[in-house]
Chains A and B, each alone.
Chain A
Amino acid sequence: MGRIGERFARLRAQNKKALVAYLCVGDPSIEASVELALAAVRGGADMLELGVPFSDPVADGPVIARAGARALAAGATLPRVLDVARRLRAETDVPLVLFTYANPLLVRSLPRVMAAARDASIDGLLVVDLPVEAAGELRGEAAAAGLDVIPLVAPTSSDARARAAMSVATGFAYYVSVTGITGSAAAPLEAASLAAGRLSREHGVPVVVGFGVDSPEKARRAAGASDSGADGVVVGTAIVRAIEDARSTSDAARAVHALVKSLRDALDAP
């Protein structure tokens, strides 16, 4: 079992929900990203999604799209994101998931990128615009490098599609709470949590709920009950917004820490 599987097993044994924190690496700088990621871990994040900035982030709302533009302006590239992962691994053992669009992977040699990701102690990959049918080659190469590939399931996925995604999921699956882009408001979180919980129990693979989780109260709703809900929640836009609103890196680190801690406390509250 990889680091991701072990983490979920441990959380389950403790009857706890996973808190996954997303950051866009390079926003506002490569250096700052290391500090901000560690602030999220200190705040209680169980796992980090390291966002690889992309020029055309069609699945993202304005907040994460702006972060990506700042990161690209700061010189972020896939190899630099992997450098950040390596530096994080020296400080923490939380699982690291590369969160990316397809093109930065596909312009390179897949076996080589997978090996580089593994050497940088990445544990899994989530490729937003690579649906299950298109990800066969990636799954093969990732498996060869010992990396998990996390599929997305949406409320619009048919039962057959959801089953297909779950049957190839390694590590965990990501249930998108809304039909929309990241940062969309008014997500029906309870329904998403129940759907995620159902898939998780049926397939024996953890399922987390993401998109639209931006407050302790919503984190609780997205996580749901311990017996029927999701295995965890992902928080992205709220973290990225806290970084955008901060005046300095240390300010941002404080804000990220406080935000993640408030989410942690909400998830852990009885």
Chain B
Amino acid sequence: MTTLPGTFGAYGGRFVAETLMFALDELEAGVREILRTDEFQSTLRELLRAYVGRPTALTRARPLATALDPDGVGLADVWLKREDLCHTGAHKINNALGQVLLAKRMGKARVIAETGAGQHGVATATACALLDVPCEVFMGAVDVERQAPNVARMKMLGARVVPVETGSRTLKDAMNEALRDWVTHVAHTAYCVGSAAGPHPYPSLVAELQRVIGDEARADMLRESGALPDAVVACVGGGSNAIGVMRAFLDDDVALYGVEAAGDGVGTARHAATLTRGRVGVLHGARSYVLCDDDGQIQEAHSISAGLDYPGVGPEHAHLRDTGRVTYLAATDREAVEAATLVARRMGILVALETAHAFAKVAEVGRRESARRGRPVSALVCLSGRGDKDLGTLGAWLEASGGAR
């Protein structure tokens, strides 16, 4: 029987109140004894096929490659792994469905979740509706406002949305509140964490549930293009879509790039570029990179995208950064909006603002990798989610900046 790795190099672990330790042990046992069984895996696989709509498409995006690199010196081709086509519109459902199914098998009577962009909240509410489990979602009050369509969806799905008014009133604070609720109702409540972050076993569990993205993409790349991509690019909030697509390529000769949110710029005080600008610390139960001051106080992150607006990052990414296996870049709010606009106009796909950060760095990845390999390269982008939820934010931004080209 395999045991889950609790740490990734110097990162990960469990930094939680003693009260929660038994629940994490219990969850770890659930992963080992329930989630890893053939019966569970085949039930989940069938749900992912018939309900979520997996496998998701792999789309060749020549027009985008041409738009990003008109001379074709850096980018030979761009491929899109279409997680936006999942039911509920983002990769989050892969994880939520797995965790809620596990919670149900473990006999939990109630599921809670935190959410930033609302995608994980919607995914958890969806899984809970399907599997008939009461669901409560904690969401920062700022995010309740900027992701209003997702709040309405969660309510329609029968979930209770709890606006969080503490701290920066964003994702970090939603997770604080979810942890407080969990400590208080731990015996009968399952906490469905939305990213590859938090105390062990969450980073491993979420990565295990999201690796379907990379497994499918790798097989489809080989089948449809006859080769692996030269580079894989994904946005990084807590890091779940990124680790999900990257795990399948870790042992290949494929360059891996994560893109964080640079907000107003990594040189300013308003960004969420934890791996680029953070330091090693403990937040939400794991040791990883965090944005904090010299006294150890966690700093507020800033990003136009609620799903990346987080001063922490999953521990596996901290390790992959230190080992150099993954390169982490950061894209500003402006770059993300421009990238979202470009993808919409060239490909007819409205991407989430989170995802837009990955697109914002595809040209740079092309330059770096073509220089290294001495030829134009192909890049696979994890298109983690659709952008309908962001139309309000995008409209306001475009209006303030004088409209799109």
Contacts and interface: CB of A to CB of B under 8 A. Distances in A.
A72 interface: yes
Contacts of B167: 55-56
Contacts of B399: none
B15 interface: yes
Contacts of B282: 101-103, 106, 129
Given A156-B19, A156-B23, A129 B279 contact: no
Interface in B276-315: 279-285, 287, 290, 292, 294-299
B166 interface: yes
Given A56-B298, A72-B297, A184-B184, A157 B281 contact: no
B90 interface: no
The bracket for how many chain B residues form the interface is: 35 or more
Interface stretch (A30-38, A41-49, A174-182): A174-182
Nearest to A104: B296
A227 interface: no
Q: Which of A77, A101, A176, A179 has the most CB of B within 10 A?
A: A179
Contacts of A65: 166
Interface string B168-205: 00001100100110011011000000000000000000
Nearest to B299: A55
Contact of B279 (A107, A156, A161): A107
Interface string A54-96: 1111110100010000001000011000000000000000000
A176 B180 contact: no
Contacts of A105: 296
Nearest to A152: B18
A1 interface: no
Contact of B18 (A57, A72, A104, A131): A131
B18 A180 contact: no
Nearest to B172: A56
A247 interface: no
Contacts of A55: 167, 292, 297-299
A103 B184 contact: no
B16 interface: yes
Contact of A129 (B23, B180, B285): B285
B51 interface: no
Nearest to A135: B15
Interface string A162-206: 000100000000001001110010000000000000000000000
Interface string B16-53: 11111111010000000000000000000000000000
Given A103-B290, A154-B21, A156-B21, 8 more contacts: A56-B173, A72-B297, A103-B292, A131-B14, A134-B14, A151-B18, A153-B18, A179-B186
9 contacts: A56-B298, A107-B279, A107-B292, A107-B294, A107-B296, A108-B296, A152-B17, A156-B21, A156-B186
Closest 10 pairs (CB-CB, A-B): A104-B296, A180-B184, A107-B296, A154-B19, A103-B296, A152-B18, A55-B297, A77-B295, A156-B22, A55-B298
